Structure 1
Amino acid sequence: MTSVRITPASRSVARVPPDDHERLRLDLKPEAPTTGAVDGGWWPRTRDLAAEAPALLAGLTARLGTVEGVSYNLDDWGATRREITIDGARVRLAGYRSQHRDTIDVYSRRQLVTLLVVAPEATAPHARAALRAAADRANTDSVEALLLAPPARSADDAADQRSEIDGAAVHSPEGARS
């Protein structure tokens, strides 16, 4: 599955190497004035923030510059280190119960990005629908509404369902491995 749909003209993280797209499972609104509750969506593979953050933050560096910190909901992520080091820079991980359960904030000196967090256990069609909705510049839905976004039916979704049933690898039309 290719979950990051980025074109150099529309997204600021276009410098992420293609091999990293599947690993990141990230989609962002264009940088120009955004609307809504979030600036994009992220579908981590686990609830281990310290393990998941380095790839995410590397993908966001093109947009934010050097990332200084991440705030998250304590109940959603559980115990984690208070800081990690990425490319020699310390990044603070700060957990709060007041942080919306299904978001994380990633910040640098110049910008804050709020991301919808799709549960790692979400099905691929539902996760992709939530990521697409979160990255739609015009979308002003609440976090809760974004997570309830119905998946669009497509040939890729049908192939994903077949893959989930028989365990076969699925390839998208672009040749990216699903």
Structure 2
Amino acid sequence: MAVKPPGSPAGFVDGAWWPSTKNLAEELPPLLAALADDLGHAERVTYNLTAWNPPSRRLILGGGVVRLEGFQSQHQDTLTVVGSDGKRRLTLLTVPPETDPWTAERVLRAASAAGDVESPEALLGADGLASARQRWESEGGRLRAPR
């Protein structure tokens, strides 16, 4: 998981997350623990219904309850975590679990960059992954030539 520095323009997402599976109930506890300093106790998490294996509507975590709300209208590649005050929230680009580590790392960096305002499609789509590679190379990174 990687989030933008405080005070950065949010753009479409506030950062990115690379879960290991499509099991939201299993993946959320470590994510919510990592976000606790920024958001406090998470009150609810919204997600796209088709992007995850169907979870229960509530998650018991650390003695509290987190509501899980799925929507058809939420972007398929995002997840929003709302803090206990209802005002603080983070929308994270979710990198598909099957993504190779090299690509996932580049997407995490791009989505959490201070000036990033790119759409999820630009960050994750077929062209977006290519542009993330190009951006990385233009900033000094180098891809190894195929053998």
Q: Could you state the TM-score of these two structures normalised by the residue count of structure 2? A: 0.84
2:100 is matched by which residue type in structure 1?
T
Aligned partners of 2:9 and 2:117 also within 8 Å: no
- Corresponding residue for residue 64 of structure 2: 89
Per-residue deviation, 1:111: 0.3
Q: Which residue of 1 aligns with 2:21?
A: 46
- Give aligned pairs, total: 132
Runs of 4+ with deviation above 6 angstroms: none
RMSD (Å) for aligned C-alpha atoms = 1.6
Q: How far did residue 35 of structure 1 move? A: 2.9
Q: Is the 8 A contact 2:39 2:88 kept in 1?
A: yes
Structure 1 CA distance for aligned equivalents of residues 99 and 118 of structure 2? 19
Task: Show structure 1 runs of 5+ residues with no match.
Answer: 1-25, 159-178
Distance 1:131 1:93 in 2: 24
Distance of 1:123 and 1:137 partners within structure 2: 24
- Per-residue deviation, 1:86: 1.2
Question: Deviations 1:10-64 (Å, cap 9, x if unpaired)?
Answer: xxxxxxxxxxxxxxxx000012142310000000000000000000000000000
Q: Secondary structure at the match of 2:50?
A: helix
Give the Cα–Cα distance (whole angstroms) in 1 for the partners of residues 95 and 61 of structure 2.
23
Q: 2:122 corresponds to which letter in structure 1? A: A
Counterpart position of 1:146 = 123
Q: Structure 2 stretches of 5 or more lacking a match? A: none
1:103-141 CA-partner distances (Å, limit 9, x unpaired) = 000001130100000000001111111110110110111
Measured after TM superposition, the shift of residue 85 of structure 1 is: 1.1
| Correspondence 1:131 to 2:108 | yes
SS in 1 for 2:51: helix
Matched, 1:80 2:55: yes
% identity of equivalent residues: 41
- Rounded Cα–Cα distance in structure 1 between residues aligned with 2:62 and 2:53: 25
Amino acid at match of 1:59: A
TM-score by length of 1: 0.70
In the alignment, which residue of structure 2 is the partner of 1:3? none
Q: Give secondary structure in 1 for the equivalent of 2:38.
A: helix
Q: Aligned equivalents of 1:84 and 1:117: distance in 2?
A: 19
Say which structure, 1 or 2, has more relative contact order (CA 8 Å, 6+ apart): 2
